[in-house]
Amino acid sequence: MDLRVRALETVLTQKGYIDPAALDAIIDTYQTRVGPRNGARVVARAWSDPAYREWLFTDATAAIASLGYQGRQGEHMVVVENTPERHNMVVCTLCSCYPWPVLGLPPTWYKSAPYRSRVVKDPRGVLAEFGVALPEAMEIRVWDSTAEVRYLVLPRRPEGSEGFDEDALARLVTRDSMIGTGLALRPGSGLS
Ligand code: FE
C-alpha cells in the first residue's frame, strides 16, 4: 500500500496535478492538529451541558462547529446517543467515510473489508473482538455513513465521573467510544 501511494503521488506530482508541500500540510494537519481529542471535547460538553446535548441532536453540525470543529468530511454531522437500552456503532460499508473534524483520520481497521462487512451482520461479534460485551437485551444499532452524512456516537457517561469538569471528562472519551467499538473509560481504570 505504501509503495502504491508513493507511486501515485509521484505520477500526480510529475503531471502537475498536486503539490507535495500542500499534501504534506494536509497530512500534518490531520495527524497532529485534528484528531479524536476534538470529538472528546464535544462529548464532554454534552455530558456537562444539557442544552448543548439537545443542540447536538437537533443540529449537530452547528453545535460541533460552535466549538471550532468543522470542515471537510464534517459538513453534515449526526450525533447518536448511547443509552441503557441502545448501543450505536458506525461504519461506512461502501468505503471509509468518517467525521474528520472530530475524529481525525480513520483507523486502518475502520477501512478494512472485514470490519465493514461484519459489523452489519454480527455487531456483537465485532464488539467482542474489541473487548466489549453488552447485555443481551441491549439493542445494537449500526449506522452506515454516506458521502453526505457522518455520525458521531455520544457514549454513556461512566459511573464515578460525577463532579468531573469538562477537561477531566474529555480524558475519559476514547476514539473507539465515539465510533461505537468501545466505551468511555471508567474513572480510575488506569487508562484515564
Ligand atoms: Fe465511505
Q: 4-16: per-residue pLDDT in tens?
A: 989 999 999 999 9
Which residues have a Cβ under 8 Å from the Cβ of 118 and sit 6 or more positions away?
125, 126
User: Is the predicted pLDDT of residue 189 greater than 80, yes or no?
Assistant: no
Active-site position among 48, 66, 96, 192: 96
DSSP bridge pairs for 135 = none
Query: pLDDT by residue (tens digit) across 127-181?
Result: 999 999 999 999 999 999 988 899 999 999 999 999 999 999 999 999 999 999 9
> Ligand 1 centre and the CA of 133: distance in Å?
27
Place of cell 484515564: 192
Residue 45, phi then psi, degrees to nearest 5: -65, -40
Listed by start position, the domains of the chain span 1-33, 37-179
CA neighbor of 48 nearest in space, from 181, 142, 149, 172: 172
Enter the C-alpha cell of residue 37. Answer: 481529542
For the question of residue 97 being annotated catalytic, the response is: yes
CA neighbor of 38 nearest in space, from 100, 117, 85, 97: 100
Whole-structure pTM value: 0.88
Place of cell 503539490: 19
Give the span between the Cα atoms of 65 and 75, in whole angstroms.
9
Query: Distance from CA of residue 91 to its chain's centroid?
Result: 10
For the question of residue 92 being annotated catalytic, the response is: yes
Give the span between the Cα atoms of 189 and 173, in whole angstroms.
13
What fold characterizes domain 37-179?
Answer: Nitrile Hydratase; Chain A (3.90.330)
> Ligand 1 centre and the CA of 16: distance in Å?
27
